[in-house]
Every structure is written in structure tokens, then in C-alpha cells.
Amino acid sequence: MLGCWIPLLSSLLCNENSPTTASSKWPHLKTTYGLPNPFGGVAFHERPFTAAEAASKGWRLMDSCNGIFAGHRYGDPDDPSLVLLYDDHGYIAGVQSGLLVSHVEEDAYPFSTSPVYQLSDSFGMAAYFTTAYFTDPAVICNGGRTEAQFNAQGLGDRLLIQNGATPDTVINVPLTQAEADADPMWYDHLCFLGMGDHYMTFNHQQDQDCDTMFPVQILYNQGQINGFVWQHLANLPGDTWEHPDQLAIRAIVDKPPSCLMELADTVGLSTMHHYFHAMPWLTTCPLFK
């Protein structure tokens, strides 16, 4: 399937990443971009869809429906980078990105005052969390999805980013590229093989203030959402993170602001791709855009 990496041949050779609709099943949750490894590894790592499976794989319950976040939160005591959220039925409901307070610099980004970052606890250590929900937060701790809904939707049917102190304050992420084009919050950037077409809040102006950055990139493939990316202005430890340098930034961000390039060389950047489909490494880009 090497031909799938070549955009000219992709339409003839590949159909693994066929477009989805908002109502169709998202059958996977895979994290971290990298070279595919048939023997495992952190790149494109599959994440458990049920709390029972998470517990069997060593994930530990952090807390349940704590009022700040919706869901039963499972994490790794040794790695706060990824937290999995499950509903009352034990079905996947969302994810979080965790940043220990000791690992971030307030001078680089106003974590303490940004509504998208919530201060909470990670196994006894203070941490900021960003939170994405794949289903209605109102039902997560109120019975959760039914088995029929889970079987029909898989991962979920929406992407919501918590943007306040409680889970009822969220930003709806556009599920189609056309919707993103019509939403003034999002700007079209560059497409990259194995990722997709990136949309983010960088406005193509070099003098944009990085304090206004929203820590999410949206990924689209053939006009439909393919996943998303957490992006943080911090150099976070752990092999689940990607650390783009200036060269990588220019391959993804169209006309990046000068502050982003400066931070890449000083504080550092950390990103983590999340994919909703089986073989995201086969995602291609159009010849012309």
C-alpha cells in the first residue's frame, strides 16, 4: 500500500479512509503521529473504548463526575498527557490532555486564566487539563449512552471542547470542512500526509499574539473530520507527545505568527494527534488546494 502515500495514486489504490458523515460511526481512537509499527509502539496507538478495557490495560480511575469535568476519568499515574473519559455505562465519552503545572511556563502562555485550561489534580499533582467530549456532556454522568447508541456511533457523534469551569460550556468543532470554512474562528492551513488538512485559530498574520491561540487543530480528510490535535505552548515530557520544530511548523501552519516560531526555539511546543479511523497513516492530500 505504499502507493497510498502518493496523492496522484491515492484515488485509485486507497479507500481505507473513505469520507464519513456526522451521523456515521467513528470506529477508532488512535493517538500520536509517527511511523507505523506493526509490532506496536506509541505512534497511532489504539485507545480503549470501554472503561473495563482501560482498567484491564492498566489505566487507573482518577475520579468520577467531579463537577469540573463530565465522566469517569482514567489515567496513567506516570504520564498525565492523556486521560480517557467514560460515561456511566462505561463507554468512551471524551479525552483530556494533561499538563503538570510544574511543566509549563505562565510567561509563555496564560494557562491560569485561559478558559480552555482547567486546573485540577493528576494523581496528587496539580495539572491543567483541556477536555474534548465525543457525546453530549449532559448525558455522560446521567446514565450515559445506551448500548444501541454506542454500537451505532462508536467513538461518538460530535467533538466539543470544554471552554469554561463546567462541562456545559463548550465550543462545537465543525464536523465538515465546509462548516469550518464558514466559521470565523477557524482558518484553513496546510495538509500533511498521514494527518489531513489542518484548521486552527492562527489567522495567517505574523503579528498575531500567541496568547490568543486556542490549543486545538482540526483534521479533515476529503471534507470530513478525521480527528483533531491538542497543541500546547510548552515542552512536555513523554513519548506520546510530538515536538514540532520550525521546519515541521512551516509544513503545517500557513504563514505562522512570529511568536510561534520564537516559542518553538525557546520554550518548545507539544502536540498530540487524535484519529477517528482505522488507518490514519494512509491519509493523503490533494494535488491542488
Beta bridge partners of 74: 61, 84
pTM: 0.90
* φ, ψ dihedrals at 2, nearest 5°: -60, -30
Per-residue model confidence (pLDDT) at position 39:
64
pLDDT above 70 for 24: no
* Boundaries of every domain in the chain: 15-282
Question: 208-253 pLDDT, tens per residue?
Answer: 999 999 999 999 999 999 999 999 999 999 999 999 999 999 999 9
Distance CA 272, CA 95 (A): 12
For residue 210, what are the contacts with CB-CB under 8 A and spacing of at least 6? Answer: 109, 233, 257, 259, 260, 263
Q: Kindly list the distances between the CA atom of residue 80 and the CA atoms of 8, 93, 98, 184, in Å, as whole numbers in the listed order.
A: 40, 18, 5, 32
Q: Kindly list the distances between the CA atom of residue 79 and the CA atoms of 91, 126, 216, 240, 271, in Å, as whole numbers in the listed order.
A: 22, 13, 20, 9, 15
Residue listed under C-alpha cell 502507493: 3
Per-residue model confidence (pLDDT) at position 14:
38
Distance CA 219, CA 275 (A): 8
